[in-house]
Structure 1
Amino acid sequence: MLEKILDLIGNSNCTGCYACYNICEMKAIEIRKTEDGFYKPVIKKERCIGCGFCITNCPVLNPEYSNNPEPKFYMGWSKNQQIRKASSSGGIFSEIAIAILESRGIVFGAAWDDCLEVKHIKVDSIDNLYLLRGSKYLQSKVGYAYKEIKEILENSQKNVLFVGTPCQVAGLKKIVKSDRLITCDLVCHGIPSYIPFKSFIEALNEKVEKVNFRDKITGWRNFSLTYYEKKRKVSHVHYKDKFFMGYLRNYYLNEACYSCLFSKLPRQGDITLGDFWGIEKKYDKKNEGVSLIIVNNSAGLNIVEELRKNNRIELREVEKDKAIKYNIRVYSGYYERPKQRDYIIGEIRKKGFNKVANKEIKIDNNMIRILKKVYVFVKNKLKY
């Protein structure tokens, strides 16, 4: 049956959300890395019984938009300075997660694994929350997290918080229906291929043990990417990091990310979290980060209002136009697909990141100006 589902979706439209992998009771689906560096499903023909669950529970074939199409928009940040400094933006994810963990709930989010790839893990203590903190600009291997969440909710009275990309939240909600499930989707630029990332890491010469994609050593607005090696660390301001610049130019995104069904209004999660780019400096004088918070339903509103009531977060409602001005992916999943996308991934696979990047990914002092032009060009083609 999965052959049929892949025929219906097309490999280019598959987000790699893992919904089919989790719903198949026969374990007829396995996940493999594709030639262009993404984890996607493959059928085990001898196990498939043709039940059709993979089709009916595929969020791409059967998308659902149950949240408010006109949600509430906020700027906000944690009042705990340590949390705010350690977070990618304003620390709102950490505050939500801490509230869940303090109530003896469980949090699922993305963490680094031993292979320097990203996977979803379960955290049940505040001491381990640091594993989920921070942006990870790669595809997360969800594994059987959706099934595990379903079992927890069916066999206990615990609340569960799941944080992931919009397509992952859409996949989870196909499988789990519970008032005790809280979901946060992210303002997602798209997921890049593991091929350029792994090749870039190898080109650093030393064995990289950890990556911080959003290091605030240069401030929140001009954040750096820091690569931790055994004896040293290497940091690049984001607009001088060639891997990140190729990512922002959309050179190696998953095919589905160029026309994402889920990066739009109405959003998928109870709450949507991202960076509040373009915020006035008076709200962030120390350049520590401000979160964009989109409250998509009553459950999400209850959570953020409780955090405000308990004096855990600063929360200020803002107009929609102000909130989305520099966040296209809040309301549209459209990107123009670069013509050189396949060429760049293929050449990196054959020749290595540096040889291709030196030719295709130029870094200059006008990078910010170029990125702003790209933003204006795309924005003018969109309506929300």
Structure 2
Amino acid sequence: MIEINDKSQCTGCAACANVCPSNCISMFQDDEGFYYPVVDSEKCIHCELCIKTCPVINRRTPESETRKVYICQNVDLKIRKDSTSGGVFSALSKYVLDRNGVVFGAEFDRNSIVRHGMCDNTAGLKRFRGSKYVQSFIGSSYKLVKDELNKDRWVLFTGTPCQIEGLHSYLGKEYKKLILMDIVCYSISSPGVWRQFLDYVGKNIPLDKVSCIKFRDKSKYGYEYTLMTFRDKEGKTIYSSGPESNPMLRSFVSNTSTRPSCYACKFKTIDRVSDYTAWDCYNVYKYNKNLDDNLGTSHLMVHSSKGLEILKTLKREMSLYQVNAEEAVASEPAMTQCAVPSDMRKPFFKMYRSGNNVFTRFFQDTKRVKVERLLRSVLSRIGLYKYIKRLMKG
């Protein structure tokens, strides 16, 4: 049976739980709020499928059939504005749904917990749009993917690289009608810490009225300076804060609330088992100034011949421009570089384990934070923020 003795060697992908024929493996949160497999030894039949399926234990070096990279913008402005970057996910989803297929992605449930779900209609895609910087609960999603594939349906599955590897290993073979897209992953934050953040902000806002959460909302300042926003059913903003002042986002970007395996990620490679890898394109102005509209642009690397053929059919859905692959990869260090642990991590999770809310002590709204927030908002309103940001990045 699978045993987790070194937590840096488990991504929580849930491949082991999905493949277990006796359903003796469940995913539970540990004392840092991350999901890990727990085996019911009385039910275990010692088939070792869990060990044989683990993508970390059985790491195979993937070889991409192609490495072409494109910058992409969905031609539907409404969709692009609602997306984190350029709306690539929605275009690929439409391809699948037009063929009576199903789409899997990360969504918020009624309790604002991030989990993977499935939809078979265009209206449902809204649930999956937008980045969620929290590890999603996979549940039985891999089993559902296999069920749909066995019905000869098209399936698009999107997730972090470790989740894609988990599904790929679970399936054990290639499927003609399966499309895999991973997102360049900086790292993932603790679902338990996310719950504490909700409790923290819930002291000042009515969480029961929240119907939409955006980690990177472009509606106020655009793509260059996004906000975390909570909205009610009428679309009214209940809560809003930027990356310099939002405690949850600060715990994420500082590598404090990060899963241990993210510090030694096995899947930060250029070649991947997915058909596509998507990531931000903040430097679109270097490729095509006409596309620099502050509404969002995506990089998309194509790894498979199947992915390339499908992409050729999406020219009505997206503006596509091929770019130099090496330059594109170089623009995003997170594609190949792991997160570096924060010095605050140990005291942060020590407080979490004590049962006290970490955000009552960490990532407070200091004078420096308030000044930075004011500067960002003023510079964004007058249109200078993106230029200063670019100068600082070089």
TM over 0.5: yes
Measured in 1, the distance between the counterparts of 2:318 and 2:391 equals: 34
With over 3 angstroms needed to count, the CA separation of the structure-2 counterparts of 1:339 and 1:69, relative to structure 1, is farther
1:172 maps to 2:161 = no
Measured in 1, the distance between the counterparts of 2:356 and 2:11 equals: 27
How far residue 364 of structure 1 moved from its aligned partner, in angstroms, is 6.1
1:158 maps to 2:153 = yes
Measured in 1, the distance between the counterparts of 2:143 and 2:53 equals: 13
With over 3 angstroms needed to count, the CA separation of the structure-2 counterparts of 1:244 and 1:185, relative to structure 1, is same
Pick the aligned partner of 2:241 from 236, 240, 259: 236
Secondary structure (helix, strand or coil) at the match of 1:239 reads: coil
Is the Cα–Cα contact under 8 Å of residues 199 and 352 in structure 1 kept in the other structure? Answer: yes
Question: Equivalent pairs: percent with the same residue?
Answer: 31
**Equivalent position amino acid for 2:59 in 1:** P
Measured in 2, the distance between the counterparts of 1:35 and 1:374 equals: 38
With over 3 angstroms needed to count, the CA separation of the structure-2 counterparts of 1:285 and 1:278, relative to structure 1, is closer
**Equivalent position amino acid for 1:341 in 2:** R
1:328 maps to 2:333 = yes
Measured in 2, the distance between the counterparts of 1:115 and 1:179 equals: 36
With over 3 angstroms needed to count, the CA separation of the structure-2 counterparts of 1:360 and 1:26, relative to structure 1, is farther
Number of matched pairs? 367
What is the CA RMSD across the aligned residues, in angstroms?
A: 2.6
Pick the aligned partner of 1:215 from 210, 217, 225: 217
1:66 maps to 2:62 = yes
Measured in 2, the distance between the counterparts of 1:357 and 1:138 equals: 18
Is the Cα–Cα contact under 8 Å of residues 16 and 39 in structure 1 kept in the other structure? Answer: yes
Is the Cα–Cα contact under 8 Å of residues 196 and 345 in structure 1 kept in the other structure? Answer: no
**Equivalent position amino acid for 1:152 in 2:** E
Q: State the match for 1:305 in structure 2.
A: 312
Q: State the match for 1:132 in structure 2.
A: 128
Q: State the match for 1:314 in structure 2.
A: 319
How far residue 284 of structure 1 moved from its aligned partner, in angstroms, is 3.5
With over 3 angstroms needed to count, the CA separation of the structure-2 counterparts of 1:283 and 1:238, relative to structure 1, is farther
How far residue 366 of structure 1 moved from its aligned partner, in angstroms, is 6.1
How far residue 222 of structure 1 moved from its aligned partner, in angstroms, is 0.5
With over 3 angstroms needed to count, the CA separation of the structure-2 counterparts of 1:25 and 1:339, relative to structure 1, is same
How far residue 255 of structure 1 moved from its aligned partner, in angstroms, is 0.3
Deviates more, 1:61-70 or 1:182-191: 61-70
Is the Cα–Cα contact under 8 Å of residues 66 and 305 in structure 2 kept in the other structure? Answer: no
For structure 1, the 5+ residue unaligned runs are 377-384
- TM-score norm. by structure 1 comes to 0.89
Alignment of 1:114-125 (within 5 A): 114-125=110-121
Is the Cα–Cα contact under 8 Å of residues 149 and 155 in structure 2 kept in the other structure? Answer: yes
How far residue 66 of structure 1 moved from its aligned partner, in angstroms, is 2.8
1:274 maps to 2:279 = yes
How far residue 337 of structure 1 moved from its aligned partner, in angstroms, is 1.5
Alignment of 1:346-361 (within 5 A): 346-348=350-352, 350-358=355-363
Map Cα deviations across residues 134-166 of structure 1 (whole Å, 9 max, x no partner).
Answer: 111111111111111112212x22111100010
Is the Cα–Cα contact under 8 Å of residues 106 and 124 in structure 1 kept in the other structure? Answer: yes
For structure 2, the 5+ residue unaligned runs are 377-384
How far residue 197 of structure 1 moved from its aligned partner, in angstroms, is 2.0
Measured in 2, the distance between the counterparts of 1:245 and 1:55 equals: 36
Is the Cα–Cα contact under 8 Å of residues 105 and 128 in structure 2 kept in the other structure? Answer: yes
Is the Cα–Cα contact under 8 Å of residues 8 and 262 in structure 2 kept in the other structure? Answer: no
1:225 maps to 2:222 = no
**Equivalent position amino acid for 2:2 in 1:** L
Q: State the match for 1:379 in structure 2.
A: none
- TM-score norm. by structure 2 comes to 0.86
Map Cα deviations across residues 33-60 of structure 1 (whole Å, 9 max, x no partner).
Answer: 1110111110101011111101111000
Q: State the match for 1:53 in structure 2.
A: 49
